[in-house]
Chains A and B, each alone.
Chain A
């Protein structure tokens, strides 16, 4: 028998004995092994080999301890990293609320001081530029500011005031407050503070501010639209010297202006042809 044939035979015997030892031999293979003393001896030698292979010396306590220490150091490091990652989003949120908690009153005070400063500088600057104006004008400006503030406060507090909405004049080119009832007209009167405005005089900033303040209680009308609309309205010519313009309105579907008699306090809705649609007194 050649070496190659021997090797082949040995290889087959090894596979049979090995499979038998590991319990994966087929029933036919098991019969073949159990009927051959040679193969059984081979199985026994493989079994002895297995026993010897598994019989390894134990690690020294030093090696064991070092391995455990290294593994747990890694575990702790991983754990720390995980927690850091877990905490990271929280850390991004918590400081924000903390910052809000301490910053809120502080920032409010700072904002209030800044606002007062800006208003003061603005008033002073305006007064300086208008140095030729009479003291009455200065008083008037002061009255405007006071009126603005008062109106703002009142509008904010007057939650029971009848609400109005914004309509349009001339196919949407201009905006008008939609007034349906005399009470709404009166509420408009209560919130508008155009004391200094009169026919033929350009609407001052305070008037525009007043219109926006009006919206705080009911509806909003852009100040630029308000001024443009009011100046373009022919109804302004209908006002008496005692009446002041308040707002462009759409009273019960008819475009008009709202005007208040500064003596009697009566507020009227007046159309372009000087028809008084409604008058309501305080």
Chain B
């Protein structure tokens, strides 16, 4: 579809009192409607960024991947045929952009900015009352660190399910694997994450204060690790 009939489509978008669904916005954007594209991006930006964050593991790479993904969406907008939802299509692009970003990152030297304990100590010295407030931040670091230990195939499946909120069929379409494989990868990925986080919480010595995130079947292992 060409993008030279902008005036007509813009009028249509502005004349609608009810927010348009993604499909209508996509059609308008394909016709050259800038406003429709803006609405689409505003609707999906946060989740696309979250997917990129969870795959790349840090804000800078996530921002780069998200930007690349949005540019790729613009370039591919004319080819989007609506067979899948815009969200599925967008997360597929975001996933690929994130993986590209990871590959680029592997080729360049990087300073480790994820030393949670180091950050914790620095903050505690600067503002002792802030420790409680940053516990949640610590959990985020734990999640990020745990995600990095999970094999990429499992990580992608879990992120697309738990962050992008896609169903198994959509994930299977994005990852180009059978639904059964998706189901297995999600389960294994979750198990690995839960185990890793449980161990990390045990290492921090305050596991009893946190909600249980590890299966009880692994408790013995965790206890062994901490003793």
Contact = CB atoms under 8 A, between A and B. Distances in A.
Interface of A: 6, 9-11, 13-15, 17-19, 22, 24, 38, 41-42, 44-46, 48-50, 52-60, 63-64, 66-68, 70-72, 74-76, 78-79, 82-83, 86
Interface stretch (B114-122, B123-131, B207-215): B207-215
Interface residues of B, number: 54
A48 B67 CA distance: 29
Given A57-B53, A67-B70, A14 B190 contact: yes
Top 6 A-B pairs ranked by shortest CB distance?
Answer: A63-B63, A18-B187, A14-B191, A71-B70, A67-B67, A56-B50
Contact of A14 (B3, B188, B212): B188
B203 to A, nearest CB: 17
Interface string B207-227: 000011111111000000000
A96 B107 CA distance: 55
Contacts of A46: 190, 194
A101 to B, nearest CB: 26
Interface of B: 2-4, 6, 32, 34, 37-38, 41, 45-46, 49-50, 53-54, 59, 62-63, 66-67, 70-71, 73-75, 139-140, 143, 147, 158-159, 161-163, 165, 168, 183-184, 186-188, 190-191, 193-194, 197, 211-218
Contacts of A83: 3-4
Contacts of A48: 211-213
Interface-central residue, B139, B140, B183, B191, by most chain A CB under 10 Å: B191
Given A38-B217, A41-B215, A44-B212, A52 B140 contact: yes
A270 to B, nearest CB: 73
Contact of A59 (B37, B49, B193): B49
